[in-house]
A and B are shown apart, each in its own frame.
Chain A
Amino acid sequence: RKEVEQDPGPFNVPEGATVAFNCTYSNSASQSFFWYRQDCRKEPKLLMSVYSSGNEDGRFTAQLNRASQYISLLIRDSKLSDSATYLCVVASDRGSTLGRLYFGRGTQLTVWP
């Protein structure tokens, strides 16, 4: 079983739409959670960290459910520039896997005019 499971999509939505991505993780000892964005043939870049209480950054809202081991990302009012692959990432902050990031395979989003 993979550490992080994501629906690969693709998601194709019009500008202004609201879109939600989900992922699940298998290691209940995971302590840190992130969403990364990766543009085509570029490196992953941190979009936002995910906190237990949920957090918002402009049009982006991230949620974490530790009991269900489930992470979500909601994008409101989609822009053309949001087109990218969104990677769900979990990390352990202790023990032998300290510092290691586990990536999902990514969910591809295309926003069309």
Chain B
Amino acid sequence: DAGVTQSPTHLIKTRGQHVTLRCSPISGHKSVSWYQQVLGQGPQFIFQYYEKEERGRGNFPDRFSARQFPNYSSELNVNALLLGDSALYLCASSLAQGNSGANVLTFGAGSRLTVL
């Protein structure tokens, strides 16, 4: 079975540009979350979507936005890129919204963004 797939795997942008990252969850999973991992730090929560609605937002500026489509795939958009946005962007999916019991997050391999 395919796991969580993300694209692109690597990309380079310049300051001020925008970027769109894509994520396909595991088949049957309805919740998608996005995390940012800066080098040397743990992942930090950006967004969670469940049943196509935003269910949580982390402490990120409005330059960050996301959406979930009817097939439960998701996009993360970042506008007006800054050097500090350089990071590994991780998408994770789960069956439902919580984290207990069998409802555990599975992460994709991530999209590595470099902003020059």
Contacts and interface: CB of A to CB of B under 8 A. Distances in A.
Interface of A: 4, 6, 8, 31-32, 34, 41-46, 49, 87, 91, 93, 96-106
Interface stretch (B11-19, B67-75, B94-102): B94-102
A8 B44 CA distance: 16
B98 A103 contact: no
Contacts of A93: 98-100
Interface size bracket, B side: 20 to 34
Given A46-B105, A101-B105, A105-B41, 16 more contacts: A34-B104, A41-B112, A45-B107, A49-B104, A87-B43, A91-B99, A91-B100, A93-B98, A96-B56, A98-B98, A99-B31, A99-B97, A100-B33, A101-B45, A101-B99, A104-B42
Contacts of A34: 99, 104
7 A-B pairs with least C-beta separation: A103-B42, A91-B99, A43-B107, A99-B97, A32-B99, A105-B42, A103-B43
A101 B106 CA distance: 12
B109 interface: yes
A99 B43 contact: no
Contact of A99 (B42, B48, B110): B48
A90 to B, nearest CB: 9
A43 B110 contact: yes
Contact of A4 (B42, B98, B109, B112): B42
19 contacts: A4-B42, A6-B42, A8-B40, A34-B104, A43-B107, A44-B43, A46-B105, A87-B42, A91-B99, A93-B100, A98-B97, A99-B56, A100-B56, A100-B58, A101-B35, A103-B35, A103-B43, A104-B42, A106-B41
A98 B109 contact: no
A31 B100 contact: yes
A100 B35 CA distance: 10
A99 B99 contact: yes
